[in-house]
Amino acid sequence: MLRTLSSVNYRLQAVRTFTQTSFFNSRYGDLVNHIQATVPIHEITPSDLRATLQATSMWPVVIDVRESSEHAEGKIPHAVCLSRGLLERDVEKVVSVESERPIVVYCAGGMRSILAAEGLIRLGYAKERILSLRDGFDGWKKEGFEIEMPKEERK
Ligand X SMILES: O=S(=O)([O-])[S-]
Give contact residues for ligand X (rule: CB under 6 A): 23, 107-112, 136
Q: In the complex, what is the shortest distance from the CB of residue 109 to ligand X, in angstroms, rounded to a whole number?
A: 3
* Residue 69: other Cβ atoms inside 10 A: 7
Spatial contact of 102 and 131, defined as CB atoms under 8 Å apart: yes
Q: In the complex, what is the shortest distance from the CB of residue 81 to ligand X, in angstroms, rounded to a whole number?
A: 14
Determine the residue with CB nearest ligand X: 109
Compare residues 65 and 103 and give the one whose CB is closer to ligand X.
65
Q: Name every residue whose Cβ is closer than 8 Å to that of residue 111 and which is 6 or more positions away in sequence.
A: 18, 24, 28, 29, 32, 136
Compare residues 95 and 133 and give the one whose CB is closer to ligand X.
133
Distance (Å, whole) CA 71 – CA 66: 8
Q: In the complex, what is the shortest distance from the CB of residue 44 to ligand X, in angstroms, rounded to a whole number?
A: 15
